[in-house]
Chains A and B, each alone.
Chain A
Amino acid sequence: MRILSSLFIIVFFIAAFSCKKKDKTNPEDAVNFQKSDMLTHASNQIILPGFANLQTAVNELNLSWVLFKSDNADVSFLQLQEKWEKAVLKFHRVKIYEFGPSSSVGFRAALGTFPTDTAKIIANCDNANANLALVANIDAIGFSALEYIFFRQNAKSQLMGDNELQIYVDKLILKIVNEVSTVYSAWNSSYGTTFSASTGTESTSGFSLLINEYNKEYELAKNAKLGIPIGKQSLGIPQIRYVESPYAKISLLILKENVLALRDLFQGRGMNGVDNLGFDNYLNALEKASLVSTINTGFTDIEDILNNLSDDILYEIQNNPSQLDALYIKMQNLVVHIKTDMTSAFGILITYQDNDGD
């Protein structure tokens, strides 16, 4: 008995010390890296400022809408369009975080569903009792619905003469303002702290949710904003109908903002532009520096192509399809590194069923 217990203990310690400790060239990384530090940084410097910016933007949108209603001036209308654009871009900075307060509101879908159903919008205008919270109305609300109303041909004159449409816009903007405010205040008051401390491996932990939504958001950007319009799911036949932003024509600008938001979260780049703890630092702590540079290069390549294209995917589908194809391939290549390499290195769980690692 005693011999065996010592044998057990000896084996344990031989195992324990059989590998020499390595010199830590970067003490900030290797062993000391804490997920909670990274999540706190993401929450305080990226997510909260992101929602704050969006709140400012939608409030400004509302103000310029009120102004336009009162003066009907050309300059007010131009300002309204600008404020819409600004708000849409800010929205794409925080669309990733579809968990916690966002998922209970259905934030991503309520604000960002496209293409919008113009017939439904017109029908809803005639119906004072239309319930915009219904799932059936998801494609008649949000930024895409506003875009149709603000940017279609003769948008200004159609708006000025149509009281029902104005009431509909009131409702749409109010809905957005309320939802943004709900989500922002929830993050600000308590969810932010809950999130930062939720570092476990279970599928419901803050960190797992963040990684899962990160993967989902990346694939949404790749498929919905690019792949489907250029025909990747339709025998190569472009699907003009599914293009985002067909009226304001800023689809590629939106895609770029979406990609930059994903890149900044990866790098831990705060809204103030300062690069701090991000997924890249965690990967470095796991001695995966080459993966970090692969992912960074992937983002740069995507950005480079986007910089050489106009803001409108419709124009590029007609004039530059090969570049869009190249962009798609770059985005597709990066999925492997994000979804497979990065996620597997973090060792998080996607589902909550039992597992025995096979």
Chain B
Amino acid sequence: MKLYSLSKTTSIAPLVVFRLLFGALVFYGAARFLIKGWVAELYINPQVYFGFYGFEWVKPFAENWMYLPFILMLICSIGITLGWFYRISTVVFFLSFTYVELLDKTNYLNHYYFVSLVAFLLIWLPANAHFSMDAKANRVKIRRTIPKFYIQVVQFQLACVYIFSGIAKLNSDWLFQAEPLFTWLQSHRDMPVFGLLFSQKWIAFAFSWFGCFYDLFIVFFLLNKRTRLFAYFFVIVFHLMTGWLFPIGVFPYVMIFLTLIFFSPKFHSKVLTRLKILLNYSENKIELPRKSRIRRIYYASLIYIIIQVIVPFRYLAYPGNLFWNEEGFRFSWRVMLMHKEGLATFYIRDPKTKGEIEIVNSTYLTKRQEEQMSTQPDMLIQFAHFLRNEYKDTTLVFNKQDYHIQGASVHADVFVALNGRPAQKMINKSINLSEKKYNLQHRTWLEKYKP
């Protein structure tokens, strides 16, 4: 029995338009990052970086060399859009972008992860095989059709973002407390005209339920030819509204433009025809790709899809509350899902004098790092280990007297408020964090969450 025919082909147009838009969007994203001065703020100025588990060896370049990956991103994004040395552009873009994202989990955003994944997919997809400078210069085999699953893989990636974030919203805080939306919306209470609505609970409930419904089903409405235009109207309204209310940067535009991949090949062909006339573009012959390569990409895609479906559910392997423990939280399309505020006070305890040193976090961390670290258990333990190393073997002078500190233990008093609830204790001060391991196992030393 054959479930899926690899010989099913479709126009390459949707993939080409996707390439044009993706390149332009990531160009805008990188330029915006540079113009706002975030390179220095996030990747040059900090003294400490919170690496991802298994990737702590990824370190920032020295000083202004950190601008290099961003400049590469700019160049490569132009390369992607123009289809100019497309393969190398996608590879270098993917590496530079992912390198930067791996440096510090403080700056983790789901849509950055999304950009990394899409860039990775584009490496393998022949999006430059038509309407590109590579095609024009005969650097690539020109194609008008491609296997249908090439488009479907990209559609799958977008569907992941929506559907998983919809599933993630099926929790009691979101549905029955309208949190965190109520907290966020009410903060706009002084806005002219709409302000009065935003301070009302029922509006937060309406937004929560509608948002959940939208995320769960929008993909299906986009896939269906009859509902597509109508659904796309909602895509635009939904993302513009969230972009207007919340500081989510380029994400709304990324989604508004990239969901066009759900539109018909005819639509995309029309777009390309217009562009070709506008740019007076023409290209040569058509060649068919080798079958074996398609088969390989097909099986690789299947593995990719399986991984993408499993990863967001890895949290099921951990006991306890997901929002509190954040074990298996990232890389799962949990967007705008919780509002956490924390206070983490660290102490160095000298085994000799039994005296304590209270740490002022801002001595080591940026404001944003401190804010993120105070609520995320894996960052708390990473910071504790950083402090352990700082005080491993050091001599301090107090009142002109030397104090040699060796093998100090690290303790922390941590309180976290989740989704508007009163703050509760996350880490008990009696626990010696310098002995606790940083790994992917369940963290038993965290206080249990009390709803």
Which residue of B210, B396, B416, B417 contacts A12 across the interface (Cβ within 8 Å)? B210
Which residue of B188, B206, B210, B403 contacts A235 across the interface (Cβ within 8 Å)? B403
- Of the candidates A15, A241, A286, A346, the one having the most CB atoms from chain B within 10 angstroms of its own CB is A15
Known A-B contacts A11-B210, A235-B353, A353-B38; A344 and B399 likewise in contact (beta carbons under 8 Å): no
B350 within 8 A of A: yes
Determine whether the beta carbon of B398 is less than 8 Å from that of A340.
no
Determine whether the beta carbon of A332 is less than 8 Å from that of B345.
yes
A223 within 8 A of B: yes
Residues of A311-358 whose CB lies within 8 A of B? 332, 335-337, 339-341, 343-358
- Of the candidates A200, A285, A339, the one having the most CB atoms from chain B within 10 angstroms of its own CB is A339
How far apart are B49's CB and chain A's nearest CB, in angstroms?
15
A35 within 8 A of B: yes
B357 within 8 A of A: yes
Residues of B within 8 A of A343 (CB): 341
B377 within 8 A of A: no
Known A-B contacts A340-B342, A347-B183; A235 and B398 likewise in contact (beta carbons under 8 Å): yes
B205 within 8 A of A: yes
Determine whether the beta carbon of B343 is less than 8 Å from that of A340.
yes
Residues of B197-234 whose CB lies within 8 A of A? 199-203, 205-210, 213, 221, 226-227, 230, 234
Residues of A within 8 A of B329 (CB): 358
Residues of A within 8 A of B246 (CB): 355, 357
The 8 A CB mask of B395-421 against A (1 = contact, 0 = none) is: 010110101000000000001110010
* Chain A: interface residue total (CB-CB under 8 A): 65
The 8 A CB mask of B312-350 against A (1 = contact, 0 = none) is: 000000000000000001100011111111110100001
A122 within 8 A of B: no
Residues of B235-268 whose CB lies within 8 A of A? 246-251
Residues of A within 8 A of B195 (CB): 34
Interface Cβ pair total, 8 Å cutoff: 182
Chain B contact-residue range equals 35 or more
B437 within 8 A of A: no
Among the 9-residue stretches A16-24, A64-72, A79-87, A267-275, the one with 4 or more Cβ atoms under 8 Å from chain B is: A16-24
Determine whether the beta carbon of A356 is less than 8 Å from that of B248.
yes
Determine whether the beta carbon of A16 is less than 8 Å from that of B341.
no
Known A-B contacts A235-B357, A237-B399, A358-B334; A340 and B423 likewise in contact (beta carbons under 8 Å): yes
B170 within 8 A of A: no
A249 within 8 A of B: no
Residues of B within 8 A of A5 (CB): 230
Determine whether the beta carbon of A353 is less than 8 Å from that of B398.
no
B368 within 8 A of A: yes
Cα distance, A134 to B210, chains bound together (Å): 57
Among the 9-residue stretches B107-115, B130-138, B291-299, the one with 4 or more Cβ atoms under 8 Å from chain A is: B107-115
Which residue of A22, A235, A239, A332 contacts B201 across the interface (Cβ within 8 Å)? A22
Determine whether the beta carbon of B339 is less than 8 Å from that of A357.
yes
Determine whether the beta carbon of B199 is less than 8 Å from that of A31.
yes
Residues of B within 8 A of A156 (CB): none
Known A-B contacts A33-B189, A347-B184, A356-B248; A241 and B423 likewise in contact (beta carbons under 8 Å): no
Cα distance, A358 to B113, chains bound together (Å): 13
Cα distance, A2 to B88, chains bound together (Å): 47
Residues of B within 8 A of A335 (CB): 343
A133 within 8 A of B: no
A233 within 8 A of B: yes
B392 within 8 A of A: no
Residues of A within 8 A of B248 (CB): 354-356
How far apart are A298's CB and chain B's nearest CB, in angstroms?
13
Cα distance, A340 to B41, chains bound together (Å): 24
Determine whether the beta carbon of B423 is less than 8 Å from that of A337.
yes
A240 within 8 A of B: yes
Determine whether the beta carbon of B110 is less than 8 Å from that of A239.
no
**Can you report 24 A-B residue pairs in the complex whose CB atoms are below 8 A from each other?**
A4-B230, A8-B234, A14-B209, A15-B210, A16-B202, A18-B202, A201-B188, A233-B358, A233-B359, A233-B360, A234-B357, A237-B399, A237-B403, A285-B199, A286-B186, A335-B343, A336-B343, A336-B415, A337-B423, A339-B343, A348-B187, A350-B368, A353-B107, A356-B251
Known: A341-B417, A344-B183. 4 other contacts (CB 8 A): A231-B355, A340-B342, A351-B371, A358-B336
